[in-house]
Amino acid sequence: MQVIDTLLPEVKLIRPKRHRNPRGVFAETYSEAVLAAFGITAQFVQDNHSISLRAGTVCGLHFQIPPFAQAKLVRVVRGAVFDVAVDLRRGSPTFGRHVAAILTAADWSMPFIPEGFAHDFCTLADDTEVVYKASAPYAPTHDRGIFWADPDLAIDWPVAEEAAILSEKDRRQPRLAELADWFHHSPPAGPERRGDERPAHAG
């Protein structure tokens, strides 16, 4: 299993090693011990499965506020998505910046998105399925979001704003500048162990 740096230091891209034989493929898609060795210590308590029927469906940008803030480990099991994480931590040198990656069922790469980051994806294929682990249960009273096409985020989405398929809730989300100070950046106590490949794109 590879743990790969992105341009947002706390967001990692995880790539399972696949073992092929005449019968098929085996992979270890989650290992608490391996991830902990790279400083990823989130304790996951819930698995979620999302199915989007049409390409151009946008889900997010979503996050939960404390005490139900969530870290996520995201994987595409069918189709493909343009996946985005945005830093919401006040005082962070990367506050308001994002990292994006294309995730496909064929590639198996999985972003780890810690607490204090909003998450979103746009489907690139019909009948796309996304599964993800969450470190806190869904809490409707603590569920929040940002408007996905906020120009201050400068995200180069693969779908035009007028063509995106959205929920009514996501059409009404606030802009980044309107968010309360729910998350704050705490500098790491010591050097972090780094991943072993080039970073994903960030904006």
Mean pLDDT per 10-residue run, the chain (203 residues)? 93 94 92 93 97 97 98 98 98 97 96 98 98 97 97 97 96 96 80 46 50
pLDDT of residue 108: 93
Partners of 75 in the β-ladder: 131
pLDDT of residue 71: 98
As a whole number of angstroms, the distance between CA 183 and CA 168 comes to: 26
Q: Which domains, from first to last, does the chain contain? A: 2-56+63-143 (2.60.120.10)
Contact (CB, 8 A) for 43 and 140: no
pLDDT of residue 198: 42
pLDDT of residue 194: 47
pLDDT of residue 77: 97
Residues with Cβ within 8 Å of residue 21, at least 6 apart in sequence? none
pLDDT of residue 186: 82
Catalytic residue set: 62, 132
As a whole number of angstroms, the distance between CA 63 and CA 70 comes to: 7
